[in-house]
């Protein structure tokens, strides 16, 4: 067996050097840590938009009581708010004209200020929605009325999807 062919001292040296090497790798800053490729950034933002879409759909089902699962309302509201906060940052200039399939319109770059302002409003409103949900949890008596208020607020958020997509997507 190969193990027994190695002289004991050489074996010890190896046994000692390997963890040392591994440890030094941990301490060395990763000089080759490249920025994520523009294609990956586009894939990621599409995945986030997908999450935004599913959480919105789940919330509508829950609020219309087509599903009986109150605990999920707060969870889905959090997912919607957190994904909405993160998605704006992935519309970076270096993703302009990438190979990865994208429906981002040229205007995302030529009207970047307005686009990002809409993103910020979207993030703020989804956050406010999540807070409204959290406060309504403590108010169980007003449950039915609260559901209506929440559904109305969510419909307002749904309108923002469409108005942004109309201007900033190619389809």
The angle subtended at Cα 143 by Cα 138 and Cα 146, nearest 5°, is 90
- CB-based contact 36:92 (threshold 8 Å): no
Residues 46-70 as b/e (b if ≥16 CB within 10 A, e otherwise) read bebbebbeebbebbbebbeeeeeee
| Smallest separation, CB 62 to ligand HEC (Å) | 15
Of the pair 4, 93, the CB lying nearest ligand HEC is at 93
Cross-strand partners of 104: 169
# of chain residues touching ligand HEC (CB under 6 A)? 22
Q: Enumerate residues 34-53 that contact ligand HEC by CB under 6 A.
A: 42, 45-46, 49-50, 52-53
Q: Enumerate residues 99-118 that contact ligand HEC by CB under 6 A.
A: 102-104, 108, 118
Of the pair 23, 106, the CB lying nearest ligand HEC is at 106
- CB-based contact 58:78 (threshold 8 Å): no
| Smallest separation, CB 46 to ligand HEC (Å) | 4
Question: Contacting ligand HEC (CB under 6 A), which of 59, 77, 81, 119?
Answer: 119
Q: Which residues fall within 8 angstroms of residue 41, CB to CB, at 6 or more apart?
A: 90, 92, 94, 95
> Should residue 129 be labelled a site residue for ligand HEC when binding is judged by CB under 6 A?
no
Q: Give residues in contact with ligand HEC (CB under 6 A).
A: 42, 45-46, 49-50, 52-53, 56, 102-104, 108, 118-119, 122, 157, 160-161, 164-165, 168-169
């Amino acid at each position: 067996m190969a193990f027994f062919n190695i002289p004991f001292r050489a074996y010890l040296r190896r046994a000692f050097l390997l963890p040392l090497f591994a440890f030094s790798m941990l301490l060395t800053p990763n000089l080759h840590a490249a920025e994520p490729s523009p294609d990956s950034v586009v894939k990621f933002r599409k995945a986030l938009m997908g999450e935004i879409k599913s959480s919105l759909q789940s919330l509508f089902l829950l609020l219309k009581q087509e599903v009986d699962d109150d605990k999920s309302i707060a969870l889905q509201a959090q997912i919607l708010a957190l994904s909405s906060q993160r998605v704006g940052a992935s519309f970076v200039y270096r993703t302009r004209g990438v190979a990865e399939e994208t429906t981002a319109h040229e205007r995302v770059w030529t009207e970047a200020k307005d686009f990002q302002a809409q993103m910020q409003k979207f993030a703020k409103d989804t956050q406010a929605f999540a807070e409204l949900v959290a406060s309504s949890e403590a108010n169980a008596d007003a449950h039915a009325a609260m559901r209506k208020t929440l559904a109305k607020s969510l419909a307002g958020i749904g309108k923002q999807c469409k108005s942004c997509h109309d201007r900033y997507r190619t389809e």
